Amino acid sequence: MKHKSESVIIGGASAFIGDSILGPTQLMHVPGMQYLVFDYLAEMTLSGFSQARRGDPALGYAAEFVDYVLPQIAPTCAEKGIRLVANAGGLNPAACAAAIERHLREHNLFLRVAYVEGDDCMHLVESLRAQETPDFYTGEQMPASIDSANAYLGAVPIARALELGADIVVTGRIVDSAATLGILMHEFGWRADQFDLLAAGSLAGHVLECGAQATGGIFTDWERVPDWENIGYPFAICHPDGSFELSKPAGTGGLIDPMAVSEQVLYEVGDPAHYVLPDVVCDFTQVTVSAAGKDRIRVHGALGTPAPATYKLSASYQQGYRCTAQVCVFGVDAVRKARRTSDALLERTSHLLQARGYADFTKSAATVIGAEDAYGPHAQNHASLREAIARLSVTHPSKEALELFSRESRSPGVSFAPGTTSGSALTTNSRPVVEPLSRLYTCLVPKSALAAPAVILGGQRHGVSIRCDGAPPLPYVRSVDSEGMASPSCAAESSTLMLLQLAHGRSGDKGDTSNVAIFARDPQDYGFLKETLSAARVRAQLGHLVKGRINRYEVPGLHALNFVMDQALDGGGPSSLRNDPMGKGMAQMLLEMQIEVPGSRKENATLG
């Protein structure tokens, strides 16, 4: 097949709703830029959109894309012919597209706007409940009430919208990497059965989707990353064979480094040999990342096999309410004061609830920020701290019960320890917010159970043909649990080092699952890490946080080990009561592990 394009330049302009405006405003000035992709939908973003849509049926999308981002980039993108692909549609792609069109008309910008529909699965909820369809991760049954249910669509509808001539493509729930893959399918003419190419395009999208995380953001060796305040956002120069080079705009901060890009390749990935997407199952185990010139990294080596004939369906539901109070405490014995503050506030409000006829709190969690509570048995002694934050989180079925807690949470400033601030939130004299407690239910649904996706452009509806056949669905866990692996015994002449000196790492989250990827700094150390860093060793370091299974996967192309940990986040982001609900610190904790190494290795171990 003759390729339509020799190369395509795509910028990763946004990692999440609320990301910096730096990304799109930098990238639109990159010479030759053709596309910008925007990712707005974290797993629980749709639950927030559902709450907004209850108040106003015209809402339920990422309004900041329309109201904040477009005004700053649309004129330049129109002038330069840069096309935009964004999953900003959320639960209401039609309303989002209409709002974009209104903005463009008001500013005399003549761009064609298309939106994709077909991910909404609310019509399937009752039949799934009747069939007692279990949660894909936990095996639990569907809850009684669902607020939103959406299938993760793939790249084909995006490619179709671009083929029809859209300048701006708005989608609802898609897999994050599909925005980039859809562009590449359109530009290079890739077919839906060219699985190695689809995997390669998905890898490009996966690296771009989290913005500055690929260019030095949250990199292990953070001290090597210059100019955070002007960190450069990534762009990929993609080729018809599926390879790409990653770079950043000239004159920006951040860092283009093989180790930083490697960290992003495994971010939020489960089994790297079977990374399931709607269009392809990716194998990232042989991916290689290498320097290709100044501020340029070459990435290639992804392989692909047919995707299952199912979509992943993610549904959100509300299960009561949550409130978190924080009180600052100063002076001698600050940590002990902070702990007593939390205990007293919890007991006081429990008694007040009982007196008013409410049940006790469903769940509570008291921690002291600054005392390393998240480190559990590995915490150091911080009894000498002279400032600390008492943090108390509670849940309850009743909003009114938590409003009582919110009001009372200001009282420690005058009735508990000396040196206590009056504000129980981070700003003085404000009350902590009572917010809905959202949870996720996930299952698989046959692609054939959904109507085919459609692209709406200029008032015309264009159907999109999707393959509904495919491989059998893959189970959640595919590897043998490796927690029984014994750690090797070292020679008599050995030294103790922090894992950080031999490796770098990054952690990611999916619901209540955390993954921590560990990469050998020196490829020669990869064999040693495989022998030493078992799932059992990880359990010893993180077991106070991880209640479920730990599986280890090997990624030889990146000299990496990926640990996937179930029931690791206290229920996951929106329902967790931890101060690190998405496990962002778990890789940092693991890198502090002390390991015995042969004496000859100590001289070779370096940081960064």
- Whether 300 and 335 map to the same domain: the answer is no
The predicted structure's pLDDT at residue 604: 55
Q: Which residues of the chain have pLDDT under 50?
A: 1-2, 424-427, 480, 486, 607-608
- Contact between 375 and 400 under an 8 Å Cβ cutoff? The reply is no
- Whether 397 and 254 map to the same domain: the answer is no
- Whether 66 and 170 map to the same domain: the answer is yes
Domain boundary among 271, 306, 341: 306
In-domain check, residue 99 = yes
**Nearest CA among 567, 575, 311 for reference residue 443:** 311
Structural domain including 397 reads 318-437
- Whether 413 and 507 map to the same domain: the answer is no
The CA distance from 237 to 252, in Å, is 18
In-domain check, residue 202 = yes
In-domain check, residue 143 = no
Residue 90 burial (10 A CB sphere; 0-12, 13-18, 19+): buried
- Whether 332 and 254 map to the same domain: the answer is no
The CA distance from 518 to 535, in Å, is 12
The CA distance from 216 to 7, in Å, is 25
In-domain check, residue 483 = no
Domain boundary among 437, 460, 483: 437
The predicted structure's pLDDT at residue 71: 97
- Whether 288 and 224 map to the same domain: the answer is yes
In-domain check, residue 445 = no
- Whether 94 and 63 map to the same domain: the answer is yes
- Whether 430 and 290 map to the same domain: the answer is no
- Whether 300 and 323 map to the same domain: the answer is no
In-domain check, residue 41 = yes
- Whether 212 and 104 map to the same domain: the answer is yes
In-domain check, residue 570 = yes
The predicted structure's pLDDT at residue 486: 47
SS3 179: helix
* Cα–Cα distances in angstroms (integers) from residue 493 to residues 490, 599, 605, in the given order: 8, 6, 16
- Whether 238 and 339 map to the same domain: the answer is no
Domain boundary among 253, 283, 306: 306
The predicted structure's pLDDT at residue 572: 85
**Nearest CA among 261, 404, 411, 419 for reference residue 336:** 419
pLDDT tens for 261-315 read 999 999 999 999 999 999 999 999 999 999 999 999 999 999 999 999 999 999 9
Contacts of 134 by beta carbon, 8 Å cutoff, 6+ apart = 140, 141, 443
The first and second tokens of residue 406, run together, are 């919110």
- Whether 289 and 422 map to the same domain: the answer is no
The CA distance from 67 to 59, in Å, is 13
Entry pTM:
0.94
**Nearest CA among 122, 68, 70, 112 for reference residue 91:** 122
- Contact between 488 and 153 under an 8 Å Cβ cutoff? The reply is no
Residue 401 belongs to domain with CATH number: 3.30.300
In-domain check, residue 271 = yes
Looking at the structure of the chain, the number of domains it has is: 3
